[in-house]
Chains A and B, each alone.
Chain A
Amino acid sequence: MPSKGLLAAIIGRHRSDRTRLIDILRDVQAEFGRVSSEAIAEIAARLDISTVEVEGVATFYHFFTSRPAGTYAVYLNNNIVAVMKGRASVAAAFEKAAGCKFGETTPDGLIGLHPTSCIGMNDQEPAALINGVVFTQLTPAKVKVIVEAMRAGTEVQAMVAVTGDGANASKLVRSMVKNNIRKEGAVVLSPFRSGAAIKRAVRIKPDEVIAEVKKANLLGRGGAGFPTGLKWEFCRREQGQTRYVVCNADEGEPGTFKDRVILTERPHLLFEGMAIAGYAVGAKEGLLYLRGEYAYLKPYLEKVREDLRKKNILGKKIAGKSGFSFDITIKLGAGAYICGEESALLQSAQGERGEPRDRPPFPVQSGYFFQPTTVNNVETLCTAARILEKGADWFKSMGTPRSAGTKVLSISGDCKKPGVYEIEFGHTVRKILEMAGGLDAQAVQVGGPSGTCISRGQFDRAISFEDLATGGSIIVIGPTRNLFEVVHNFMEFFVEESCGWCVPCRAGNPLLKRKLEKIMDGKGTTGDIIELEAWGKTIKAMSRCGLGQTSPNPILTTIQNFREMYESKVHRETDFLPEFDLTASVQAAAAVTGQTLVTHKPETAHE
């Protein structure tokens, strides 16, 4: 039973504000190790809403648990690169040392083991979050030491012996995470002096700032590639009580981690970019929506924000411009991939379940608190700042005619040098594999599970909006991997992360996964491949948001590019095979009762 006094203090700290329900739940989970029904009732009473409304929000997010998550709550990444890097043995080591299975908590409540979707550490897998602290490059031996430390009651942060490079080592981060910056490009990762961009921006009119970004042909870096200048212009033109700039720092696409590195090493550039966006669209307030997995960066980001206020890059009369004020709030998510979708992000930021909205109206018309809002990716805002600093012509001198500038890639999987690479648009996949040391790959997943899986024959395709668009995730799949397992891992991810709002995504993806399993089990026919394609097409066409509209891609793009793999796995001589093997299913029962099974052959029966 949670103490009512403590609960009241938490809710009071958030001013009994309904829109801060996720912050309240985060604090409740941290304080009590779970969100109990008693806590839900108390929150509902104090916020004057129904219990089912609180429960709806609490049960939507992965990091809120109704049962005790464990004094030490271990969230082990289950994405495919973690699997490639030995997740199974690490998971087994955790189970053995802790004495409970994944999905359980030890009887004494000390250790809870939970699987979780990609935590943005693909360059240093297997990785886990323990009470929010990141543990990377885990091995069974390391796990043993960690669990022993848990039993000794060690503080989680104290288990981090060696810190990573750069700001990871700073007092406010103290994380073992490594940046793994392998290639610094000219735009995002090159050194930046605070103030260089905003000073130039405020010297010209907001319309001219927008014009410069349009001239540079900056396209959104989150993956969708919408022209940033146009988005700002739409937002500026819209009438509202106020306007907002929202930075989408909820990178959840499996295999992407470049925003993690930008947030660690270039937060001052990002915040300056947000201020510039604020100036351009006429917003006074910005919101950084930070994924719950990156909570370990929050104190540090708050410090950077404080420094920028002192430098007059945030706050009032920014860079000496009278009448221009702008500041930033940082809000945390709580474990939901869908919140990377901009309208779901806005719902979540308002304290709701992270379910996408219907569009129109678009966020530029009705966004954060239903006011005109520009939602931009971390990298986009950083890039916009550099465009204002150095000019559109400088920016357009890089990349391809239709894809100007650079792209920060997160490269992981079967390669020698996983990490972050900032490259000019137009680089071929082959060149990227050469840089990362993964030329022997059988396949490359470009753009994460929602992107495209390409085969060796397509390695000369170029990273660009006109050819292979990507939000930044590049997963190298080595020659000995079973590609079916990769596809299956991605489908499991989409099934788990669907918000469940619309029918095709909620009900359709489990059907696709099951059909894939039928083929993987050796029970598929050519008809099953045809059905996979047809069902996938339906889910893409009928789904409400980007998640459902891309969720069949792992299956569809591998059927397209690796058709022979599917064909060699199915029975081509027969039209239909049942998914259910009756003989095998009753084998155990027959053995117990001493009965002999007679195999029934349909073809002889018909003759």
Chain B
Amino acid sequence: MSKPKTPLSFTIDGRECKAVSAQTILQAAKDNGVYIPALCRWEAFKPSGACRVCTVRVGGRYMSACTQPVAEGMAVENDVPDIQDMRKALIEMLFVEGNHMCPTCEKSGNCELQALAYRFQMLVPRFPFQFPLRKVEPAGTKILLEHNRCIKCLRCVRGVRTKDNKAVFGALKRSKDKKIAVDQTLAAALPEAQAQKAMDRCPVGSILRKEVGFVVPIGKRKYDKTPIGSDVEKAKG
């Protein structure tokens, strides 16, 4: 099935980079110490291209770096003002689309949406808050769904399945009414470890463990000291 991987070179913002064929732009950038922000991406899952935060420009065309294979001689535009501003706009859209109250959120400090907002130095969204009415929904005995914070990245839909490969999470409806839901029966039978995984993979505080909270105190969380993406940038110095 898999084709032989051949080495190739390409550029990001003019900088020479090396990659192998079949890598996506996002993977190749990471290997070259270039951070391309992304929100719906999870290494082990098939990319979904849902958040569009990783959008780059190649030859005047916009494409999601998480889905686009890198090609020989490709000139990728990444850290340029207009693209960065549009990425920031997407982050802001997510903030106004839901109800995100960081100070009271269990995920604060571990939240990728919050971390990206800090990285993009978002102060106040340019868009009006929508204040949608959303509910908190219990999902079995181990987790609950905090719909106010859901950004529909589909990580849970893609990554949480039962042993016989049934989807535990799914997307309902469409348009702005789209929402994530669980199969209540399957969620109730979710093993402890998988429930934890579901929460860990959620980039925001939308999938929460019941009866567990603030185990790691604020101040000692993932993005409390260093901005998101700095691990990638540090790797190459």
Contact = CB atoms under 8 A, between A and B. Distances in A.
Interface string A493-505: 0011111111110
A253 interface: no
Q: How large is the interface on A (under 10, 10 to 19, 20 to 34, 35 or more residues)?
A: 35 or more
Contact of B94 (A358, A498, A507): A507
A507 B95 CA distance: 10
A542 B174 contact: no
A56 interface: yes
B176 A503 contact: no
A391 to B, nearest CB: 36
Interface in A548-580: 579
A533 B128 CA distance: 16
A500 B175 CA distance: 4
Contacts of A282: none
10 contacts: A49-B167, A52-B168, A358-B47, A495-B175, A500-B152, A500-B178, A501-B48, A503-B50, A541-B86, A543-B52
Given A503-B90, A503-B94, A360 B175 contact: no
Given A506-B175, A507-B93, A508-B93, 9 more contacts: A50-B183, A53-B167, A56-B172, A499-B178, A502-B52, A503-B53, A506-B97, A507-B94, A544-B50
Contacts of B55: 541-542
Contacts of B69: 360
B126 to A, nearest CB: 8
B177 A500 contact: yes
B167 A538 contact: no
Contacts of A172: none
Interface string B165-207: 0111111111111100111111000000000000000000000
Contacts of B178: 499-501, 506
Contacts of A514: 128
Contacts of A353: 171, 174
Interface in B30-69: 47-53, 55, 62, 64, 67-69
A216 to B, nearest CB: 28
Interface of B: 47-53, 55, 62, 64, 67-69, 86, 89-90, 93-94, 96-97, 126-128, 130, 151-152, 162, 166-178, 181-186
A474 interface: no
- 3 A-B pairs with least C-beta separation: A500-B178, A52-B170, A50-B183
A166 B11 CA distance: 60
Contacts of B64: 358, 544
Contacts of B182: 52
Contacts of A295: none
Residue from A506, A507, A514 whose CB has the most chain B CB atoms within 10 Å: A507
Contacts, number: 130
Contacts of B62: 541-542
A49 B170 CA distance: 12
Given A500-B175, A541-B62, A507 B96 contact: yes
Contact of A542 (B52, B152, B166, B173): B52
B173 to A, nearest CB: 5
B176 A506 contact: yes
B208 to A, nearest CB: 18
Contacts of B127: 511, 535
Nearest to A512: B127
A48 B184 CA distance: 15
A502 B62 CA distance: 14
A513 B86 CA distance: 19
A579 B94 CA distance: 20
A59 B175 contact: no
A544 B171 CA distance: 18
A503 B174 contact: no
Contacts of B52: 502-504, 542-544
B128 A501 contact: no
A115 to B, nearest CB: 14
